[in-house]
Structure 1
């Protein structure tokens, strides 16, 4: 909240008559009549309390379509002013299908109305307050992860306030990827004591095997139009594969892992990275050491993913 403090010091004594002739002090209460309605924060933004609306904050409005349960997205409408409003401000929002925004090469399609619901499109910001919260419920089971979708929601009415010119719309969006979706997965993780230096071929004996099959299915989540994220072994969701494919070579993939995982391990190496686009099957074998600079113990992970 913006606060204005006025300190007036009198260094001379004036007579009552002289004071009555002075102009009155400036009345700043008039600034309370200037109210701007804007969309501000949202739970889809990975940075708490960071703005999520407007073209400049497009990256802070990314929807997740992973999982099978309905996902509830919320965002707030804020009244920006020197002081909270003295009267209630009714607010109305709506999906603006003609306002699709694409700041990059991705072409977005309006999210089908069968995939989401907005429980209420009207709200009231009470006198003395600034915020109201609106909700969107997404059904990921009805969203095609191979398509790039956008859901622009805008403030259409805010009685007693001016609607912001650049922060009135939140561009909720999800990037599609042809390889995205659920994969039936099988695999094994082998834990060794010390360093074995695996470089391929038969899996060395002496390791403790963990069956990764019960983790099936795994979701290939689009990171961009040519890159997927998928849980790594039994270490997800914090640690995950980063799988990139080349549209000009449909059977080629390139595999690594996310940066934070790489920073916590050493000697990560991909032994096998194959993809058969006809059966939509990936096979990935990798190895790493769980300590810094190879000071820990080696691990081998062998996983196969078949797109559902």
Structure 2
């Protein structure tokens, strides 16, 4: 599913943002002025540069990226045909690679805004399991043609950086115990977020030590879990006992420890998806 679209028309997340947007007054004049020429554009906040968050899936997911809008003083009595094309030039100067064609299909590059209407959705079918989560991909799109209207030159482009969430990503509740050798034990009861590293690995907060201390959790084929410390977490951290992931309850069960002054800091916690 589509999630967490982060941008506006004028402020881009990628390097090399589009040129400035139509001023509000200009757009109002376009709609209301008599004799104004019909104009098509990528509507509202769906243009420009943005991050598209989608779930990991081995099935093609139909995703509406934006609506193509028709601006005119009155609704038209004839259909308008709009053509959308992939435009790799929009990625020049960015750190993004062009999304491989093997990972998506576009059901229709020619869209019809029916007579009497103003909008038509642009849809892409994404097969996210085919996307290499270790790479930074983007899908750059441009309105390349419009039969019966002109194209808004500064509202015709959209660049979608693709952020794939693996099946473990999301909000979790962590409960457990942090046993300190000198300060004594303390309870862990906090919300944690797991973010995607790759298809089987996610990153989250290490114990209850704050966002600077992290750990990566890799779920193996047998649902055992490998824990790797990161950030300010102790590089000497080791696991003990059985560390597992239960796909039925979406729960990580973890036991790990690291040495420090006075002895080992021992953590046992369960991290359950909300």
Give me the TM-score of the superposition, normalised by structure 2. 0.53
Q: Describe the shift of the 1:221–1:83 C-alpha distance in structure 2 as closer, same or farther (beyond 3 A).
A: farther
- The separation in 2 between residues aligned to 1:3 and 1:163, in whole angstroms, is 16
Q: Would you say 1:111 and 2:99 are equivalent positions?
A: yes
Shift of 1:302: 3.3
Among 156, 159, 166, the residue aligned to 2:154? 166
Q: Rg bigger for which structure?
A: 1
How large is the Cα RMSD of the aligned pairs? 4.7
How many residues of Structure 1 are paired with residues of Structure 2 in the alignment? 192
Shift of 1:52: 2.2
Q: Would you say 1:64 and 2:53 are equivalent positions?
A: yes
Aligned partner of 2:196 in structure 1 is 221
Q: Describe the shift of the 1:157–1:189 C-alpha distance in structure 2 as closer, same or farther (beyond 3 A).
A: closer
Q: Describe the shift of the 1:220–1:37 C-alpha distance in structure 2 as closer, same or farther (beyond 3 A).
A: same
* The structure with more strand, counted as a fraction of residues: 2
Aligned partner of 1:254 in structure 2 is 231
Q: Would you say 1:100 and 2:91 are equivalent positions?
A: yes
Equivalence map 1:127-142=2 (5 Å): 127-142=115-130
SS in 1 for 2:102: helix
Q: Describe the shift of the 1:168–1:138 C-alpha distance in structure 2 as closer, same or farther (beyond 3 A).
A: same
Q: Is the 8 A contact 2:176 2:269 kept in 1?
A: no
- The separation in 1 between residues aligned to 2:152 and 2:117, in whole angstroms, is 18
Shift of 1:114: 0.2
- The separation in 1 between residues aligned to 2:53 and 2:230, in whole angstroms, is 23
- The separation in 1 between residues aligned to 2:80 and 2:256, in whole angstroms, is 58
Ranges of 4+ aligned residues in structure 1 off by more than 4 Å: 1-4, 180-183, 201-205, 228-233, 241-245, 272-276, 283-286
Shift of 1:171: 0.4
SS in 2 for 1:38: strand
Equivalence map 1:26-41=2 (5 Å): 29-31=34-36, 34-40=37-43
Q: Is the 8 A contact 2:175 2:270 kept in 1?
A: no
Q: Describe the shift of the 1:135–1:62 C-alpha distance in structure 2 as closer, same or farther (beyond 3 A).
A: same
- The separation in 2 between residues aligned to 1:242 and 1:89, in whole angstroms, is 53
